[in-house]
Structure 1
Amino acid sequence: MIEPRPLVAMIHAVPAGARIAQEAFAREFPQATVWNVLDDRLLDDARDAGGLTDALRRRMLRLIEHTMDGGAQGLLLTCSSYGEVVDTARALWPAPVLKSDEAMFKAALAGPYERIAVVASTPPAVPAALAQLEALIPAVRPGRSVEIVTALSEAAAAERDPTAIAGHLAEALRASGGADADVVLLAQYSLSPARDHLAAQIGVPVLDGAGAAARELRDLLTATPAPARTGGTP
């Protein structure tokens, strides 16, 4: 049943990602009631473990179960590193559960881009984003070739100034060959404030996922979906 103010839960790993997602929902899906759940050890523990462990996967599933038991009608994981857990959650609960950047990846693959670069500032986000993109290619881009380049700048994670973050990301993209891609995708919500600065530095369109995710949940949970838009958050 469509609710006038559907309850949407968001599980965050970093406060900055939470703020960016909230801003996107306020802009794109203001009729939603947003419930924020933060576990600020998720990324550090995954980094220390060298990736996701079974214990970390179970931990994320417990957080998801907490929101579902609380009445969430839709859920967004804003932490890209835990995206693989969404596949399990979708099999366990009927409410829509979105990976952080899935909507953005769909838009990029459906667009005219032949060479796509993905950039991140935390190591687990790189393989997670690459896996999501590759998994979507058969359904979204059948019969069309695409080249995917990845770049990582851990130095960007230590910065707070968007211009400085963009500088580190641009350096990583140039080193990996991603600066001359047709489009650059930000693999983490926390990098979104640097989007426009990065685009100016490398002269390539840069997309982020928060707005795309908000629009997809809006279309799933409201009676009158708005026309789909491609690209990142305005």
Structure 2
Amino acid sequence: MNESPPLVAMIHAVPAAHRIAQEAFAQEFPRATVWNVLDDRLLDDARTTGGLTDALRRRMLRLIAHVMDGGAQGLLLTCSSYGEVVDTARALWDVPVLKSDESLFKAALSGPYRRIAVVASTPPAVPAAVAQLEALVPAVRPDRPVDLVTALSEQAAGAEPAAAARHLADALHAAGGTDADAVLLAQYSLAPARDALAALLGVPVLDGAGAAARELRGLLTPAGAPAVVS
């Protein structure tokens, strides 16, 4: 008898992340049943308040409780600005809960890159990404230091991919990060600009949605189960 497909919930703060994450799961973890939950005020409210407030943290936890009560077997928060809430969620629920770019950062730190650039188009995403990367360094690469450089281009937000790539490349140049060995996109909404940015910079540009889908596939798929169910 075939087991039921695992139910994976994704909580989004911007509509673009929904589409990008959905496409990644369709490619990397098609066996999963995906449940999308969107609160499109989460990011704007965090910008208005200058970061996460206790009220915003409680709001995200209510959304997480909603999907857990609905039977979610895995959860991905696609907004990097709310990553810190995951630590609380992991203490409250015995279900895999991933931060938006956690899988990406682990993969990047496991790679050969010495100098890593993090680029974003919204201010809260920058410190959130750096905090996650720095927290992972002792566990993933304790014997190899990593040099981080960050760049922010709010002009890239909502721009079409080629224009977003140019804005991000300009911001990285201004930050002195054009000598980075790899560039990490700190937001799912920037994923469409990945290939154009890689062409401009001549280095690997990595995004988080596919990495998260692969990690949840490994956590939720029994050994030997088929990757695709027709």
Q: Which TM-score bucket, shorter chain as reference?
A: over 0.9
Q: Does 1:163 align with 2:162?
A: yes
Q: Is the 8 A contact 1:179 1:204 kept in 2?
A: no
Rounded to whole Å, the distance in 2 between the matches of 1:72 and 1:209 is: 21
How big is each residue's C-alpha offset from its partner over 1:141-166, in whole Å with a ceiling of 9 and x where there is no partner? 1111110001000000141x100010
Match of 1:130 in 2: 130
Match of 2:216 in 1: 217
Identity of aligned residues (%): 81
How big is each residue's C-alpha offset from its partner over 1:3-42, in whole Å with a ceiling of 9 and x where there is no partner? 5300000000111111000000000000000000000000
Label 1:23 to 1:158 Cα distance change in 2 as closer, same or farther (>3 A).
closer
Counterpart amino acid of 1:31? R
Give the aligned CA root-mean-square deviation in angstroms.
1.2
Q: Does 1:37 align with 2:43?
A: no
How big is each residue's C-alpha offset from its partner over 1:26-79, in whole Å with a ceiling of 9 and x where there is no partner? 000000000000000000000000000000000000000000000000000000
- Unmatched 5+ stretches in structure 2: 226-230
Match of 1:186 in 2: 185
User: How far did residue 180 of structure 1 move?
Assistant: 1.3
Rounded to whole Å, the distance in 2 between the matches of 1:223 and 1:75 is: 17
After TM superposition, the runs of 4+ consecutive aligned structure 1 residues lying more than 4 A away are none
How big is each residue's C-alpha offset from its partner over 1:73-94, in whole Å with a ceiling of 9 and x where there is no partner? 0000000000000000000000
Label 1:3 to 1:126 Cα distance change in 2 as closer, same or farther (>3 A).
farther
Rounded to whole Å, the distance in 1 between the matches of 2:57 and 2:224 is: 33
- Equivalent runs, 1:54-69 vs 2, <5 Å: 54-69=54-69
The count of residues paired between Structure 1 and Structure 2 equals 224
TM-score, normalised to structure 2, is 0.95
- Equivalent runs, 1:1-234 vs 2, <5 Å: 3-159=3-159, 161-224=160-223
TM-score, normalised to structure 1, is 0.94
Counterpart amino acid of 2:148? I
Rounded to whole Å, the distance in 1 between the matches of 2:176 and 2:202 is: 14
Q: Is the 8 A contact 1:123 1:152 kept in 2?
A: yes
